[in-house]
Structures are given as C-alpha cells and as structure tokens.
Amino acid sequence: MSIDTKKTSPKKSKARRGQSDGIEDRLTAEQNAESGFAASQKLSGHLQAVLVDLIELALQGKQAHWNVVGPNFRDTHLQLDEIVVAARVFADTIAERMRSLHALPDGRSDIVSTTTTLPTIEQGELATPVVIGVMTKRLDAVADTCRRVHDDVDAEDPTSADILHTILERIEQLSWMVSAENREPRG
C-alpha cells in the first residue's frame, strides 16, 4: 500500500475546506441573473396564498389527528394523515413552482398564521363529528383559494394553473370523503 505524500497547493486546500479568497468565485450580475420566465408580483401573490393555506391545512390536520376522540376514531385518525400528506406534497409543489418562476415562497409560521384564509382550530380533544366538520371547512377553504386565484394564474402561467387543477381535484375529493362521515342518505 502506498501513501500519496504530495502536498496540495494552498488554493486547492482552501477550496476543499469550502473557503475562498472570493475573487475567482464572484459572479458577474449577468452570470448570477436568473433566466427564463419570471412570475409577476400578482402571480407570486396568488401562489403564495395557496401555499400558506396548504401549510395551514397540514398543521391543522395534524392538530386534529393528535386530538380526535370518539366513534370511528381510527378511520378519522388515518384519514387526517391522508389530508396532511396531500397538503404537504402540494405545498412543496407550489413552493418549488414559485422558485422555478423566480418568486420567493414564504412558509414562515408568522406569515402563515397572519395570511391564511383558514380559521383557527380549537386546542384540546375534538369529537370525531366535530373534526369531520372542521376539516371539511378547511378543505373547502383551500379549494376556494385555488378557485379564487385560478383565472389570474391561468392567464399568466397555464403550467401553474395545471398544478392548481391537480390540487383542486384531490382537495375536493378529500372534502367529499371526509364530509360523507357526517352525512345521512338523501330522501
């Protein structure tokens, strides 16, 4: 076994340690500029509105998941996890779409809590029928936000509108499935 005893140059050693003298690592404004389609403030604001509602839906879904009690507990508990997973995946999709359009998503807790359209959820144990009603309203609020911004989003960026279609399809399906727990047959 041979050991390489070559000394590396100080320049390479700095680079390996993540250090730099900054001269050759600086990019010109042109080199650092983002390219491609850039979202307008209006488009960015619309996507941000959807993002905060999805983040809040995931948080409230978990809160309900931890605190639901009563008849049909297990099914409700598991269904809440489905809602949380969908909300998290969709939030990530929206945030990454925003970044691909050179917009800056903001998922900080203070921003989410002050800009979401979802009402707050109560602290403490919640009976399964209450959770069903609460989560149906939250799912419908997210769908309403998607529908409210859809036409403006579609006019500027049909690809982002396609993402909204996917979100709407699943969120409205979840709303139907959740709300059916508290319904009685018609007639």
CATH number assigned to the domain comprising residue 122: 1.20.1260.10
pTM of model > 0.85: no
Do you know the residue count of the chain? 187
In total, how many domains does the chain have?
Answer: 1
User: Which three-class secondary structure string do you get for 104-144?
Assistant: CCCCCHHHHHHHCCCCCCCCCCEEHHHHHHHHHHHHHHHHH
Q: Containing domain of residue 144, as a range?
A: 40-182
**pLDDT on residue 117:** 97
pLDDT confidence bin for 23, thresholds 50/70/90: low
pLDDT confidence bin for 43, thresholds 50/70/90: very high
Confirm whether 9 is domain-assigned.
Answer: no
Confirm whether 6 is domain-assigned.
Answer: no
pLDDT confidence bin for 77, thresholds 50/70/90: very high
**pLDDT on residue 29:** 65
pLDDT confidence bin for 36, thresholds 50/70/90: confident
Confirm whether 26 is domain-assigned.
Answer: no
- Over residues 57-74, the pLDDT tens digits come to 999 999 999 999 999 999
Confirm whether 126 is domain-assigned.
Answer: yes
pLDDT confidence bin for 184, thresholds 50/70/90: confident
Residue 24 has pLDDT above 80, yes or no: no
Confirm whether 13 is domain-assigned.
Answer: no
- CB contact set of 172 (below 8 Å; sequence gap of 6+): 139, 143
**pLDDT on residue 20:** 55
The answer to whether 177 and 152 have CB atoms below 8 angstroms apart is no
Residue 99 has pLDDT above 60, yes or no: yes
Confirm whether 166 is domain-assigned.
Answer: yes
**pLDDT on residue 182:** 86
Confirm whether 23 is domain-assigned.
Answer: no
**pLDDT on residue 80:** 97
- How many Cβ atoms from other residues are within 10 Å of residue 186's Cβ? 4
Mean pLDDT confidence for 154-163? 97
d(CA 106, CA 180): 34
Residue with tokens 């297990």, as numbered in its chain: 74
Confirm whether 25 is domain-assigned.
Answer: no
Angle at 36 between CA 30 and CA 40, to 5 degrees: 105
- Over residues 83-94, the pLDDT tens digits come to 999 999 999 999
Residue 162 has pLDDT above 90, yes or no: yes
